[in-house]
């Protein structure tokens, strides 16, 4: 019986440890706003102290988020900017708290080695006042081994983070719910 439990328990623990997602749960603040009044949306990124995220990666992630919005709900906003916000914009700030690219070869050799992570604090603000409307955290961790671990790269995690942010925006009706 113990052998049977071990043969099922270890693979389950391995699967749980191999990949993880921090689901974006945007918490509201006391600053209530009618989000339908916002017709322009600005996406910005920043980094926590001591966290290095290359500029091309930040630009790629902003582009992925914009692309996801345009794919699902291009009618929601008249304008989506990746630069400085306009006076009447709804501002999305993605502040990276962890960005570790890991090592493909180490992942190939053994699951758990060379893991990669990307985590961020996500804030929705009124661009004019700077008041926080919603805030939360999102993230992805990947530690699969073998060939799958070797062929999966940071760009895959970045795409997953963008999709997670879009899902969070939908739960708070910033974007329309999926059909």
CATH number at residue 125: 3.40.50
Which pLDDT score is estimated for 13? 37
Q: What percent of the chain has pLDDT over 70?
A: 89
Strands 116-126, 132-142: pairing is antiparallel
The token duo for 128 is 């004019």
Q: Does residue 58 sit within a domain?
A: yes
Q: Provide the number of structural domains found in the chain.
A: 1
Domain of 119 in residue numbering reads as 19-171
Q: Are 100 and 117 in contact (CB under 8 A)?
A: yes
Integer angstrom CA distances of residue 82 from 38, 67, 89: 16, 11, 12
Q: Does residue 33 sit within a domain?
A: yes
pTM: 0.83
pLDDT in tens, the chain (179 residues): 555 444 444 444 344 445 677 788 888 887 777 888 899 999 999 999 999 999 999 999 999 999 999 998 889 999 999 989 988 899 999 999 999 988 888 888 888 888 899 999 999 999 999 999 999 999 998 888 888 878 888 999 999 999 999 999 998 888 988 76
The token duo for 158 is 């970045």
Which pLDDT score is estimated for 19? 67
Q: Does residue 23 sit within a domain?
A: yes
């Amino acid at each position: 019986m113990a052998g049977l439990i071990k043969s099922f328990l270890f693979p389950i623990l391995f699967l749980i440890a191999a990949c993880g997602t921090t689901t974006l749960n945007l918490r509201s603040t006391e600053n209530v706003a009618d989000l339908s009044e916002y017709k322009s949306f600005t996406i910005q990124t920043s980094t926590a102290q001591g966290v290095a995220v290359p500029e091309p990666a930040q630009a790629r992630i902003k582009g992925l988020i914009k692309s996801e919005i345009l794919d699902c709900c291009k009618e929601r906003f008249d304008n989506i900017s990746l630069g400085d916000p306009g006076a009447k914009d709804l501002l999305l700030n993605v502040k990276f708290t962890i960005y570790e690219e890991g090592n493909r070869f180490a992942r190939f050799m053994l699951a758990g080695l060379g893991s990669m992570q990307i985590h961020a604090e996500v804030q929705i603000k009124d661009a004019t006042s700077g008041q926080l409307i919603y805030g939360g955290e999102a993230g992805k961790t990947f530690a699969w081994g073998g060939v799958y671990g070797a062929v999966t790269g940071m760009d895959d995690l970045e795409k997953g983070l963008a999709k997670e942010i879009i899902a969070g925006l939908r739960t708070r009706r910033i974007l329309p719910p999926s059909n």
